[in-house]
Amino acid sequence: MKLAFAFCLMTIIVGLAWAQNNTLCHSETIVTGDCKQRIRGFTYLAGRERCHRFRTRACSVTGNFFHSRDECKLKCIPESKNSNGENGFVNFMNRAMSQVQDMLQSLVNYASMP
């Protein structure tokens, strides 16, 4: 009897912990303040089941916001989909294009400085 109770309790705790992880991924991205600080990161788009680049000017960003694509994937995309869901070449190209866009944006920002 004690073993069955312990098993049920562990199942409930694991279920609650897993649900807490998913609520972050399905919550809104919360942008606070008007500091003009450039903040870059990623947010999880549940409808597309992907981590998407997110940029804003604010004091801070919380909620569905991650500092890296890998952090977003670890929290929000199941391991089975994360490792097998995308073709390796497509994943490589997505990362490469993201890095090229970041470099170009940095150059534009540098050129526009007084």
Together in a domain, 9 and 31 = yes
Are 28 and 68 within one domain? yes
pLDDT of residue 77: 85
Predicted TM-score (pTM) of this structure = 0.55
**Hunting for tokens 């549940």 — which residue is that?**
46
CA distances from 20 to 49, 72, 76 (A): 18, 15, 11
- The pLDDT assigned to 11 comes to 58
The pLDDT tens digits for 41-94 are 999 998 888 999 999 999 999 999 999 999 999 889 876 555 545 566 776 677
What average pLDDT does this structure show over 9-30?
A: 65
Helix H, strand E, coil C: the string for 53-87 is EEEEECCEEEECCECCHHHHHHHHCCHHHHHHCCC
Q: Given a cut of 60, is residue 99 above it in pLDDT?
A: yes
- Quick one: 54 and 107 in the same domain? no
Tell me: do 44 and 67 sit in the same domain. Answer: yes
pLDDT at site 22: 62
Position 43 scores a pLDDT of 95
Q: Report d(CA 71, CA 78) in Å as an integer.
A: 12
Give percent above pLDDT 90 in the chain: 33
Do 14 and 44 share a domain, yes or no? Answer: yes
Containing structural domain, residue 35:
2-77
Q: Environment class of residue 18 by beta-carbon count within 10 Å: exposed (0-12), middle (13-18) or buried (19+)?
A: exposed
Q: What does the mean pLDDT of the chain come to?
A: 77
Query: How many structural domains comprise the chain?
Result: 2
